[in-house]
Amino acid sequence: MPNPGKVYLVGAGPGSLAYLTVSARQLLAEADVLVYDALVDLSLLQQVSPTCEQIHVGKRGGQPSTPQAEINRCLVEQCLQGKTVVRLKSGDPFIFGRTAAEIQALQAARCAFEIIPGISSALAAPLLAGIPLTDPVLSRGFGVFTVHDLDGLDWSALSRLETLVLLMGGRRLPEICQRLQQHGQRGEMPVAVIRWASQPQQQVWQGTLLSISQQTRGARLSPCIIVIGEVVRLREYLQPAVRAMQPLKYKTILVTRAASQSSRFTDLLTAQGAAVIDLPALEIRPPTSWEPMDNAIAALPSFDWLILTSANAVTFFLDRLLAAGGDLRSLAQLKIAVVGQKTATVLRQRGLTPDFIPPEYVADSLVAHFPAAGGLKGLRLLFPRVESGGRTVLVDEMAAQGATVVEVPAYESVCPAHLTAAGEAALAQNQADAISFASSKTVRHFAQLMQQAFGRDWLGRLDGVAIASIGPQTSQACEQQLGRVDIEAAEYTLEGLTQAIVEWADGSSA
């Protein structure tokens, strides 16, 4: 009997991953099919597996929308194929979400379904703007309405509410203000318009019924929440002072590191308040053949030094050593040199301590400061490294000084098949503030992927996007492939790159 499918009608909250429920996040990871709205933050798309089919059915005021009947048909069709379907809806599914129509369609087709609540933007947006919807003195309650049909609302009743929250009213703001005043509300009543609540591009306009239309003239307000009431005045006292604590708040950073390597850097950036979207330009795989590595492991006693220049080299070499039946004691007679604190940290996590770390975190420094008392002449060095495309300066210099360097492929780094959906959408919709590169190869692969996605004019997609580099070699690749570099780390580490991006955001970088 075929495995029955199921549809989960999931609330995405106001959009930011930070406000997604635990249940929603787990379901995204398990989904076979994701059917999502236009208002969902692109970073949420990264929570699904690479094999998950993504179907965009977004509705946005004033723009072409997917008919509700088509959305219903899609959900039923995917469910009947035995798939786990997540219907990701902005806010809460039961607050202006048209969920009833989808439930009726699923029931008629005898499809299993479950509803997962989310935080409504009607509640989250005012909070994130520093506006309390209730107050012991100013607001004993509030009302929430959509304003698709102005004539269908009782404006006399609305004008008497102490606090009014209106959704989907950006294009009708002047009419809303006019109708409230016509039904007795005073023109000096405070108003706030909150656009893209919880997102890096969040904007807040604050005025009165008389002034707010002029203040927002020419601005594109959708998607927005409108708050009307005396509580709006409390914003100047209650708005969180997060800028000093999170200098990257409201900045969206694209990270091009391999998906398996990006979590640490993502943590560093999000700790500074950034919204991070993964756009991996590297895919790390085992080498084409393990034979050279296995031969080197079998001959470990013949080597004097083990050279490790990346965390990947540490991981793949030690994993292969263990797979071959060896253990850390097999390295007892070897000295180990590493490039970079990250590489050293990974090595220590595996139970080994490096004998030498050059003062600068680049391969050139390893050669210049190598601690061998009698020089390199006569030494045998084992160098597990990327299979192809790496720089040859280390091997060339050591060989020139009389060392025998045995290079063995430890891993392969290749270009992914395409840009991630979230990363491509961020660039297509001008949502990225900066894009970071931690190696020359990521720059070259990124250029290849961009040309594939956007054609000959792909460089134009980077207008207004800062190019951030981890160090000189990567910066050189940025200049060659992208025509510029805007941010370069003073210390060639992920921590250094994070600090450089923070300084750029603060306007203090050179």
List 139's β-bridge partners, or say none: 135
SS3 state at 196: coil
d(CA 360, CA 340): 8
For residue 163, give both structure tokens. 């606090």
d(CA 469, CA 372): 32
- Check: CB of residue 227 under 8 Å from CB of residue 143: no
Of the residues 59, 249, 294, 319, only one is catalytic, namely: 59
Is 293 catalytic? The answer is no
- Check: CB of residue 192 under 8 Å from CB of residue 239: no
* Residue 52 phi, psi dihedral angles, 5° rounding: -70, 130
CA 137 and chain centroid, separation: 41
Single-letter amino acid code for the residue at 497: L
Three-class SS string for 384-441?
A: EEECCCCCCHHHHHHHHCCCEEEEEEEEEEECCCCCCHHHHHHHHCCCCCEEEECCHH
Of the residues 37, 41, 92, 486, only one is catalytic, namely: 37
Is 37 catalytic? The answer is yes
d(CA 292, CA 262): 29
- Check: CB of residue 269 under 8 Å from CB of residue 276: yes
For residue 105, give both structure tokens. 């369609």
Of the residues 41, 89, 168, 450, only one is catalytic, namely: 168
SS3 state at 345: helix
Three-class SS string for 435-469?
A: EEECCHHHHHHHHHHHHHHHHHHHHHHHCCCEEEE
* Residue 317 phi, psi dihedral angles, 5° rounding: -65, -50
Is 450 catalytic? The answer is no
Q: How do strand 275-278 and strand 252-255 relate by DSSP bridges?
A: parallel
User: Which parts of 311-367 are beta strand (E)?
Assistant: 335-338
- Check: CB of residue 285 under 8 Å from CB of residue 411: yes
Active site (catalytic) residues = 37, 59, 168
